[in-house]
Structure 1
Amino acid sequence: MAKTIVITGAGDGLGRALARRFAADGETVILLGRTFAKVQKVAEELGGAHFAVECDVGNPDSVRAAFATIAERHPKIDVLINNAAIFEPFTLAEVRDDQLITQLMTNLAGPIFCAREALPLLRGGGHIVNVSSESVALKMPMLWMYAGTKAGLEFVGDMWSRELEGDGVRVTTIQAGQMMDETKTGTNWPMDVAMRFAQENAKIGLNLRERPITHYNSVTDVFRAVLDTPADLHMGTVALSARRR
């Protein structure tokens, strides 16, 4: 039976790749994104019953409104994929208030807001999938806020697994490694920030230019397998990393 899948941050990157994959598999995809034009473009590309909803996951009112809209058309959903996140390096000395608050609200509070509003629609067999990062284990310089929010999300997801068991809701964390597709031509960080990020990582033996990178489409295979896990099996954490062919 086809699943109804809600994906945050579905306008590009992994979120868009997941939306395309699940739509091709015959699932119904609901695309959430802060910039409506981006998620609407993907939804129009997919056609059919798929649709986009504007949603800033870091704003609880925006999340409430988005899931109220979803509930009008789908009183039950099967999967929530908490994918939306902000990835930006900085040092403690230079970080601005807005950078701290935006990452905290988007990367950690956002998945909590979304899961809370999705829970009534997920009860009785739903699945929450939280997207984390290999940076939690790597402890990459200048990435402490991003990795810290992901580490927090992993802890939260682990606790939810026990809390939501009685509701029939499973929770899985997928730790993703470096990935991209043909549309990614580089970073939008200031050049000096990107250079310092590379230099600081090189100091601890992480050469960013030499590290392998995988394609978003390859990663979607793992999400497919997680969602197809039998109901009597729990998959808590899946750790992914890119490898050279």
Structure 2
Amino acid sequence: MTGKFENKVVAITGGSDGIGLATAKRFSAEGAHVYITARRQAQLDRAIKEIGKGAVGVQGDVANSADLDRLYARIQRDHGRVDVVFANAGISESASIDSIDEAHMDRVFAVNVKGMVFTVQKALPLMTRGGAVILAGSAAGGKGFANLSIYSATKAAIRSFARTWTTDLKSRGIRVNVVSPGMILTPAMDTYLQVNAGAEDALTQMIPFGRLGQAQEVAGVVLFLASDESSFIAGDELFVDGGVMAV
């Protein structure tokens, strides 16, 4: 480890498992002060033990603005600033066009779109020139996967946010980019594979690399987008999908 994020303050929503947890561990190993959120306290406590090095967990749901206020109030009290925001929290639900109802739309948009907007907006008073915002997109935002129209629409919105917010924040020197994973072996994906026989073979056949991705591979891209090494990258979307979108 190089210590390239020594004393940087990093906020990660949805940081208790999968990509969020893998990214939190990488930032912490590089010297950052890491703050994570999760909806479930027990899961949050386990993640903090795994991360170690003084990581802080703030229980909350990004769909609830008051919970985000508590996150940034804690960071304000401890450090007075935030250098990197990884807006990672999100949910996925399936529904065919015939079965979409208002409750499904409200749940997915509340977390993936409203939660994303206020995760970033509420961080801005603590961010200074050179800050980085990384939004968690998905390859689904640019594909037509069956029964994922609402989820995919939220991820397409996130891609649009990176463009408009880059314009909004350019005078403040804050960069906004999207990392868009493909099929990654997270706990949620593992659960899906266990209850859907043959799903892993079907998914790997779609991927040029012939395998599912690992959470650590996405984490590496997040750290790149948060670092000075990507200082001339803004408003962009980087896919971590084994070539699905490119080939």
Pair in the same fold by TM > 0.5: yes
Q: Secondary structure at the match of 1:185?
A: helix
- The amino acid that maps onto 1:237 is E
Compute the displacement of 1:67 (Å): 1.5
Match of 2:242 in 1: 242
Match of 2:205 in 1: 210
- The answer to whether the 8 Å contact 1:179/1:242 transfers is no
Change (3 A) 1:152 1:31: same
- The 5 A counterparts of 1:148-187 are 148-181=153-186, 185-187=190-192
Question: Percent of pairs identical after alignment?
Answer: 24
- The amino acid that maps onto 2:215 is Y
Counterpart selection for 2:13 from 8, 14, 18? 8
Match of 1:229 in 2: 228
- The amino acid that maps onto 2:148 is L
Match of 1:143 in 2: 148
How many residues align? The count is: 232
Q: Does 1:84 align with 2:89?
A: yes
Match of 2:219 in 1: 220
Match of 1:98 in 2: 103
Change (3 A) 1:52 1:164: same
Counterpart selection for 1:119 from 107, 113, 124? 124
Q: Secondary structure at the match of 1:80?
A: strand
Compute the displacement of 1:93 (Å): 2.2
5+ residue gaps, structure 2, are 1-5
1-side partners of 2:39 and 2:90: how far apart?
A: 11
2-side partners of 1:52 and 1:188: how far apart?
A: 29
Compute the displacement of 1:209 (Å): 5.3
- The answer to whether the 8 Å contact 2:162/2:178 transfers is yes
- The amino acid that maps onto 1:229 is D
Q: Does 1:129 align with 2:128?
A: no
Compute the displacement of 1:216 (Å): 0.7
TM-score after normalising by structure 1: 0.86
Match of 1:41 in 2: 46
Q: Can you list the C-alpha shifts for 1:98-128, whole angstroms capped at 9, x where unaligned?
A: 3211100100111101111100111322111
Match of 1:203 in 2: none
- The answer to whether the 8 Å contact 2:204/2:212 transfers is no
Compute the displacement of 1:182 (Å): 7.6
- The amino acid that maps onto 2:109 is L
- The amino acid that maps onto 2:114 is A
Compute the displacement of 1:48 (Å): 2.6
- The answer to whether the 8 Å contact 1:157/1:173 transfers is yes
Compute the displacement of 1:208 (Å): 2.8
Match of 1:202 in 2: none
- The answer to whether the 8 Å contact 1:10/1:33 transfers is yes
Q: Secondary structure at the match of 1:31?
A: strand
RMSD of the TM alignment (CA)? 2.5
TM-score after normalising by structure 2: 0.85
- The answer to whether the 8 Å contact 1:40/1:51 transfers is no
Moved more, 109-118 or 35-44: 35-44
2-side partners of 1:175 and 1:90: how far apart?
A: 21
- The amino acid that maps onto 2:190 is T
Change (3 A) 1:209 1:168: closer
Q: Can you list the C-alpha shifts for 1:182-210, whole angstroms capped at 9, x where unaligned?
A: 89532299x6xx69xx7xxxxxxx94352
1-side partners of 2:238 and 2:15: how far apart?
A: 21
Compute the displacement of 1:230 (Å): 4.2
Q: Can you list the C-alpha shifts for 1:31-75, whole angstroms capped at 9, x where unaligned?
A: 111112212221122223210001210111221222122211121
Q: Secondary structure at the match of 1:208?
A: helix
- The amino acid that maps onto 2:78 is R
Moved more, 88-97 or 225-234: 225-234
- The amino acid that maps onto 1:238 is L
